[in-house]
Chains A and B, each alone.
Chain A
Amino acid sequence: MLEIKGLTASIGDKPILNGVDLTVPPGEVHAIMGPNGAGKSTLGYVLSGREDYTVTGGTVTFNGINLLDLEPEQRAATGVFLAFQAPVELPGVNNANFLRTALNAIRRAHGESELDAVQFLKLARAETKRLHMPDDMLKRNVNVGFSGGEKKRNEVLQMAILRPKLAILDETDSGLDIDALKIVADGVNALRGPEFSALVITHHQRLLDYLVPHRVHVLANGRILRSGGPELAKELEKSGYAGMIAEAA
């Protein structure tokens, strides 16, 4: 269960989040929609602990743990995963090695045994196969020379291997063709279960056709303006945000 209460955050002197209240029960997928500059990406970064943002008020707990007290890697260990809008390149760092190091760090934090290279490759290959990705994805350097679509798919592969309890997808669908979009949706749908929650940040209703959310929230001016079922996304597709924001003001 993710519980966000009265969360305010700023970058420098500029307030971005102005009191976000949001609850995602275990087993549910929630979509966050909203106009550009609404604070959607900021919410993702604040939840995962990026230091550029200052939390000025409110609380965030995940399964009873106060996330705001934890370092980014500790949040990852509790099961928080952020699929980046712009995945970062790590020159010279092999994707498989990177993922194995990450997975083993999380396993260590849980008191589980580490996987050796052979065990890891077996697991990773099974995931690439399931997601219809070429095996060479694992051999290449992390995101270096990847196309925009490949970078997004690599995020989904990482998520599949790290098996988070809370996945935050920051516009993972942007710039993707319909096939890649299905891969992203499949990646999330495969993780669905009683202990898995997801926050899917998106601009487009289209992703939600494949990844049907339990709830849709509209974020504007740094707070949740409206919440509803999947039909809310369809309504937004037709009428846009402007009317809704004017109505709320």
Chain B
Amino acid sequence: MAAATETLDTVQSVTQSGYKWGFETTIEMDFAPKGLNEDIIRLISARKEEPEWMLEWRLKAYAAWLKMEEPQWARVEHPPIDYQDLHYYAAPKKKAGPKSLEEVDPELLKMYEKLGIPLKERAILAGVDPDTVENTQIAVDAVFDSVSVATTFQSTLRKSGVIFCPISEAIREHPDLVKQYIGSVVPVADNFFAALNSAVFTDGSFVFIPKGVRCPMELSTYFRINARNTGQFERTLIIAEAGSQVSYLEGCTAPQRDENQLHAAVVELVAMDDARIKYSTVQNWYPGDSNGKGGIYNFVTKRGACRGDRSKISWTQVETGSAITWKYPSCVLLGEDSVGEFYSVAVTNNHQQADTGTKMIHFGKGSRSTIISKGISAGHSNNTYRGLVRMLPSATNARNFTQCDSLLIGDQCGAHTVPYIESRNPTAKVEHEATTSKIADDQLFYCRQRGLSEEDAVGLIVNGFCKDVLKELPMEFAVEAQKLLAVSLEGSVG
């Protein structure tokens, strides 16, 4: 009978799918020895052919890190991390730096194909006119372990004055820009993980959008952790000069492994007068298996500074992966009438732990911020929203609206909301709304009675719950994010 066969197929696909990005690519790697000390930092700096000031900056960060302790306030638990048991540098072995895709290891390109990364420069090299396809194109900076492998579309971007390149290249080619802005939003000693990143970061992306330029395409980075026992420490810096606009998407995957892998990134955004930066993240690092073994520890510092009047920074994140997520993309609203936005979907299943949220720091007169957070917990997971809204004395007529919704699936999981609100200006307005709900049995039955499988029903209800956030994602990624939500929650009911 057709219906029974269908169900069998569904059950099979559900039990077999697991983490579909869990493959390892065999490429010869160039490792630094395990452990962290000044010599390792010098080695990283030397491998990157960095100028002296960069090395000094790193060493300063390292000195600060040595005096710091891992933060304990987040609602996450993990065995102690042995920072001396990690490789801080791993790069695919290569002859010289790849200048074009032809020089890139074909194994690598094959892996990106598996990941579905649109390295469409191949198409363009094959004779497609870039001007006719430009608007639907996405420029990709792919970070494979520690080294940025290929940056597509560089030449098209250059035409409009946009710089989009690996940060290691920017340090060599545009030292004045990097020197001026790096660490200006997230200081080296900002927090334990940011200090660690500042000392040992190996790659990441650099974006510079000149005055008045609207970046002609979506910029995108794909991070992938491949090698064993390596931490991935990327550093991203995006500068939008007055009147410019850019939309940036970061996607992440990692192969399936038993041991935990550390990831501690820093992202800094700077928006000047009337500039707009939209930063979207789809994070599906390996979350560990259903017993909580393995998975990525994701300790990330992301912060944007709205330095100019009427500037706007918008964070959108869909977080479905990692064993532990510790992440608070924030906005410092310095400019008058500047705008900060945070749209977040965080899904935890099995034994995942997420402690995520945002900080909106209002300095500017008339600055506004919006926070929409959707947390979904299933299995034995814990999902915490932690947010800070701070109105400083200068923030006359500033406003914030916060909406935090939690959805629980099953009765073994937890949802927690920890909002901090500080207002030191009597004209500032702060609104906070929060709800917690469960997927009701009658909702599931209603969907199933109409013919939907239980998994599809959960997917549909969860996507409905997250709609306000998903609609903020760039079109190309909204569909991917929806599928990701469904995959992340497979096996969470019944």
Within 8 A of A (CB), among B423-466: 440-443, 445-454, 456, 460-461, 463-466
Q: Which of B3, B461, B463 contacts A109 (CB 8 A)?
A: B3
Give the number of residues in A that approach B within 8 Å (Cβ atoms): 41
Are A76 and B448 also in contact (CB < 8 A) when A71-B7, A93-B463 are?
A: yes
Instruction: State the CA gap A87–B441 with chains docked (Å).
Output: 13
Q: Which of A50, A52, A76 contacts B451 (CB 8 A)?
A: A76
Residues of A within 8 A of B468 (CB): 92
Task: Check A92 against B467 for contact (C-beta < 8 Å).
Answer: yes
Q: Which of B4, B447, B463 contacts A74 (CB 8 A)?
A: B4
Q: Which residue of B lies closest to A98 (CB)?
A: B460
B1 within 8 A of A: yes
Within 8 A of A (CB), among B377-421: none
Instruction: State the CA gap A53–B109 with chains docked (Å).
Output: 55
Residues of B within 8 A of A102 (CB): 447, 450-452
A220 within 8 A of B: no
Residues of A within 8 A of B126 (CB): none
Residues of B within 8 A of A89 (CB): 443
Q: How large is the interface on B (under 10, 10 to 19, 20 to 34, 35 or more residues)?
A: 20 to 34
Task: Check A88 against B443 for contact (C-beta < 8 Å).
Answer: yes
B475 within 8 A of A: no
B116 to chain A, nearest CB (A): 22
Q: Which residue of A lies closest to B442 (CB)?
A: A88
Instruction: State the CA gap A70–B446 with chains docked (Å).
Output: 16
Instruction: State the CA gap A103–B467 with chains docked (Å).
Output: 22
Q: Which of B456, B463, B465 contacts A105 (CB 8 A)?
A: B456
Within 8 A of B (CB), among A56-97: 65, 70-78, 81-82, 84, 87-94, 97
A51 within 8 A of B: yes
Q: Which of A49, A92, A101 contacts B466 (CB 8 A)?
A: A92
A211 within 8 A of B: no
Task: Check B464 against A52 for contact (C-beta < 8 Å).
Answer: no
Q: Which of A51, A70, A94, A108 contacts B445 (CB 8 A)?
A: A51
Task: Check B464 against A73 for contact (C-beta < 8 Å).
Answer: no
Beyond known contacts A73-B452, A93-B463, A93-B464: 8 more, CB 8 A cutoff: A71-B448, A74-B6, A74-B7, A76-B450, A88-B442, A101-B452, A103-B451, A158-B450
Q: List 25 A-B contacts (CB under 8 A).
A: A48-B449, A70-B4, A73-B7, A73-B448, A73-B453, A74-B7, A76-B448, A76-B450, A78-B3, A81-B449, A81-B450, A82-B449, A88-B440, A88-B442, A88-B445, A90-B461, A93-B460, A97-B460, A98-B450, A101-B460, A105-B450, A105-B452, A109-B2, A109-B3, A110-B2
